[in-house]
Amino acid sequence: MSRVREARVCLLSTGGTITSIYDEDIQAYRPGLAMDALLSSLPPSLGSIEVVRRDLFQLDSANAQPHHWQEIATAVQEMDARRPDLDGFVILHGTDTMVYSASALSFMVQKLGKPIVFTGSQIPASLPWSDGPRNLLDALRVAAWADLAETCIVFNGEIHRGTRAKKIRERALDAFDSVDPTPLGVLAREVVLQESRTRRHPPSPVFDTRLCKDVFLLKVFPGMPPDVISRIIDMGYRGLVIEGFGSGNIPTIENALTGPIREALSSGCTVVMTTQCAFGQADLSLYEVGKAAMDVGALSAYDMTSEAALVKLMWVLGHTDDADEVHTMMMKNYVGEITLSQSVGLRGT
């Protein structure tokens, strides 16, 4: 094999399991491992990568809030301006809310021309059998040398698009999966990438961290009282993502949701229907109980994940209140979060 070229990667730490240590006082794990200790677990050949380090915060990702997404995006912007020679970014993050943060960075930082790679671990790196060192090394490889210009999650030897990933396993090392299509790539002897990826390109970065945090994610369940939606609107929420059954279906006889959805839309709240299924998509035209939501004005998320739909709606409502503009932006493919061929039959077309 030919000698790998030297590369420069910015490593941003936000905490998570990968940085966790056992606290005897609380008798539980919490973030606290120093970045030097984490990097010391990697092989000496890492010397071909110059790692520029920056600690942002030490959080369990269950405590991550939308303003933390904005802080991470701002840090990327600052470091990219300070070191334009960087080949990529790696962000250490907890697995519980990683897909939310990766989705947010996908929208907030566009056209960077280089990878933004989220990674973490299922087992604290302070333990000798941790998956953390391998995931970090893989993430550094992708950020340094992969012909990729997307925000992604590198975990257990796979590369997932940030807006297409879900955490589907609580403890297993293969915690994440890509939800239609397949992963962007895998890490083996070489980094093997799908043709569908966005390749590295000359940067023309767009940093835009505007968000409306008044968006609610609601999972429908049998027997759910319809006035839950009214209560959500009374609380001042401007957006509502509803996880329906199957292809986005809702009750229409007992505990019917059509009336409350219509009232929510009339009050100026945007309603987006998605599916509770890990794989598949919302297709409101398939069944009467899905078409009912579409007929009163709810939007379909099509093949967006619930997490990506929630974050995208926050980002869109951070830009506009106009219903037509919101509709247009939600149906636009910005960073591979939605398959345009699925979003047919748009209003006004």
Contact assessment for residue 265 and residue 271, using Cβ atoms and an 8 Å cutoff: yes
Structure tokens at 339: 């398959």
283 classed as catalytic: no
Collect all residues with Cβ–Cβ distance below 8 Å to 130 and sequence separation of at least 6.
18, 121, 123, 124
Q: How far does CA 145 lie from the centroid of its chain?
A: 22
Please identify which of the residues 96, 138, 177, 283 carries the catalytic annotation: 96
119 classed as catalytic: no
Please identify which of the residues 14, 17, 270, 274 carries the catalytic annotation: 17
Angle between helices 306-317 and 98-108 (to 10 degrees): 40
219 classed as catalytic: no
Collect all residues with Cβ–Cβ distance below 8 Å to 25 and sequence separation of at least 6.
none
Q: How far does CA 275 lie from the centroid of its chain?
A: 17
If we measure between CA atoms, which residue out of 80, 41, 75, 37 comes closest to residue 56?
75
106 — phi, psi (to 5°)? -60, -40
β-pairing, 151-155 with 158-161? antiparallel
Please identify which of the residues 14, 19, 95, 163 carries the catalytic annotation: 95
Contact assessment for residue 240 and residue 271, using Cβ atoms and an 8 Å cutoff: yes
DSSP type of residue 199: P
95 classed as catalytic: yes
Please identify which of the residues 55, 74, 167, 328 carries the catalytic annotation: 167
Residues annotated as part of the active site = 17, 95-96, 167
